[in-house]
Chain A
């Protein structure tokens, strides 16, 4: 494993046992996150993007379980760690923010307490003596809230989450996640619950902190626009699989998978004013008992007989891969 790689997931398979049968939410996913980079994960609801990273954090809830694969973080296979060691690693080395800060912050605890417990759990540099410890935690908490741009942080620590605006809550959640200076931040839909104007602020904040703290960021989103602006590389997921990955600029300029093309075509763009937005027809397949064929087959405008068997990821240029058999014939792409 190269020194540049912080997180490497190989062949991850996470399933949920339901009454209707086994749902394979994540099916053979490989992810690589390099040190200091921002990786965007794009896909619609149910594509497995959140479950993939819940698996990385060891937070898949029953009836879900990881069936296969290895998750190597900085040289350690996380699946082989004891629950206690995994707990120590969560928050300290890999932190996560959730989609909606209103539900992710505990309504019955003050913001200060929710920040302080993060520091208590992970910060080994805190003084041992009680008074000094309290003062140090207070100082660090104020520092973190100030860092994410909450004014008069000292007073606001005593307030409850509902006393803040939506954008502030999101920034507080980020402050909590970053309080122990993690090496990897998994930001799950950090802007979906926010107004457009606040969205930009929050994303700017994450980018700024990434540069300052030198951490890697995984940005899970269904918004390709967000990815285009903030991510070095992008991974597109569909029905539990990665269908395309590569450097963001290249993927957006020249998408290789029909699904990625569909996603890009369904974004309203000022340059294309007057032209109808083209949504992708059809629906994501039911993840129970999937037939052995391309998962995008039913919705693909370019599908043919050759797509009726399992498709692997194919190299599509330097550092690029896509799960489509048509990559071999680039001339047909722009059709």
Chain B
């Protein structure tokens, strides 16, 4: 891919993001419920005090004006103050983002490393018992709601078997004295040489990551299986056999390299959809990440935070698609972007 083509693709992000910010802004403005009323709650305030609060938050302005103010600030990476935390939105989001990225990456890795081998095996042993179990399992994986599956896992492994913690990212006592170099606990604990803390963090992340990654695992397995079945019929597989290559080499080098082309594209896009799944999974597992923060913020009509977070989701999603295209050209030498 040439550099100009790369820039061109980057520039295409601008209209997408502009559209997303309009939609988010309008949606939040149309949502019933008044942030000022929610903040006041049961307290008794005078109408003057209430009007003052509204002015402080900029909510006395018309929606259109508020939008352009938001847009102008957003271009300078200023997303305003979180109504609820009384701190800059960007600060609050950056605090929570590493936990979400960590969870998403672990979920993605689990999905990739189980789905691809399972999909290959299912294709190689087409119509075997294993293939049937994998196919049915895949269907279940896509259709089971994450919150329900997560609760089942929690009940089994955390409550009944008492093997894994119920909620959170790490035990409070253990997390003390760890220097946050990267803010990713699995990495920071290792960098600090604290293997006890690493094990603790791993125990915390395993259930939410499995729950989050389950639908992606199921989808990727099916994509891999289909792609492999297609590829195994190709002439170049027959020719590779005629060359007297080993079965393993034919399978993992000749066939999989071609079968991965569709799989990787789907994986990159599915990783984007993990972000959406995060909101539910983080709530179920009490994971202190961005997803849960967004859910809480929607409940209290914390407009600035929701807007900024959704914009961030959109950027990540579009970037992942972009990344998928680049990977596609790397894996498929016939395609030049």
Contacting residues of chain A (109-136) with chain B, CB-CB under 8 angstroms:
109, 117-118, 121-122
Question: CB-CB < 8 A to B52: which residues of A?
Answer: none
A121/B234 contact (C-beta < 8 A), A98-B239, A106-B240, A108-B258 known: no
Question: CB-CB < 8 A to B240: which residues of A?
Answer: 106
Task: Tell me how many residue pairs across A and B have CB atoms closer than 8 Å.
Answer: 77
Cβ-defined contact, A96 with B236, below 8 A: no
Cβ-defined contact, A91 with B244, below 8 A: yes
Question: CB-CB < 8 A to B254: which residues of A?
Answer: 106, 109
Cβ-defined contact, A91 with B333, below 8 A: no
- Of the stretches A82-90, A139-147, A207-215, A226-234, the one at the interface is A82-90
Residue B64 is within 8 A (CB to CB) of chain A in the complex: no
User: Distance in Å from the Cβ of A117 to the closest Cβ of chain B?
Assistant: 6
Docked pose: A176 CA to B238 CA in angstroms:
14
Docked pose: A95 CA to B331 CA in angstroms:
29
Docked pose: A61 CA to B235 CA in angstroms:
12
Identify B243's interface contact among A61, A91, A100, CB under 8 A.
A91
Cβ-defined contact, A95 with B332, below 8 A: no
Docked pose: A91 CA to B241 CA in angstroms:
8
A121/B334 contact (C-beta < 8 A), A105-B239, A107-B258 known: no
Residue A59 is within 8 A (CB to CB) of chain B in the complex: yes
Question: CB-CB < 8 A to B244: which residues of A?
Answer: 87-92, 118, 121-122
Cβ-defined contact, B236 with A91, below 8 A: no
User: Distance in Å from the Cβ of A282 to the closest Cβ of chain B?
Assistant: 31
Question: Which residue of chain A has the shortest Cβ distance to B233 in the bound complex?
Answer: A61
Cβ-defined contact, B235 with A98, below 8 A: yes
Docked pose: A191 CA to B133 CA in angstroms:
45
Question: CB-CB < 8 A to B334: which residues of A?
Answer: 107, 160, 162
Residue B242 is within 8 A (CB to CB) of chain A in the complex: yes
Cβ-defined contact, A90 with B236, below 8 A: no
Residue A57 is within 8 A (CB to CB) of chain B in the complex: yes
Docked pose: A306 CA to B331 CA in angstroms:
62
Residue B9 is within 8 A (CB to CB) of chain A in the complex: no
Question: CB-CB < 8 A to A90: which residues of B?
Answer: 241-244
Docked pose: A64 CA to B333 CA in angstroms:
34
Cβ-defined contact, B333 with A107, below 8 A: yes
Question: CB-CB < 8 A to A57: which residues of B?
Answer: 242
Cβ-defined contact, B236 with A106, below 8 A: yes
Contacting residues of chain B (59-78) with chain A, CB-CB under 8 angstroms:
none
Residue A68 is within 8 A (CB to CB) of chain B in the complex: no
Question: CB-CB < 8 A to A107: which residues of B?
Answer: 236, 258, 332-334
User: Distance in Å from the Cβ of B207 to the closest Cβ of chain A?
Assistant: 37
Docked pose: A125 CA to B332 CA in angstroms:
34
Docked pose: A254 CA to B254 CA in angstroms:
47
Docked pose: A142 CA to B234 CA in angstroms:
27
Question: Which residue of chain A has the shortest Cβ distance to B247 in the bound complex?
Answer: A87
Docked pose: A121 CA to B249 CA in angstroms:
10
A91/B245 contact (C-beta < 8 A), A59-B238, A108-B257 known: yes
Given A95-B242, A121-B244, output 11 extra A-B contacts at Cβ < 8 Å.
A57-B242, A87-B244, A90-B241, A90-B243, A105-B236, A105-B239, A106-B236, A106-B254, A107-B334, A108-B333, A173-B239
Can you identify 23 A-B contacts, CB atoms within 8 angstroms?
Answer: A59-B241, A87-B244, A87-B246, A87-B247, A89-B244, A90-B242, A90-B244, A95-B243, A96-B242, A98-B242, A103-B235, A104-B236, A105-B239, A106-B257, A106-B258, A107-B333, A108-B331, A108-B332, A108-B333, A109-B254, A118-B244, A118-B245, A173-B239
Measured CB to CB, the residues of A under 8 A from B are 57, 59, 61, 87-92, 95-96, 98, 100, 103-109, 117-118, 121-122, 160, 162, 173, 176-177
Measured CB to CB, the residues of B under 8 A from A are 234-236, 238-247, 249, 253-254, 257-258, 261, 331-334
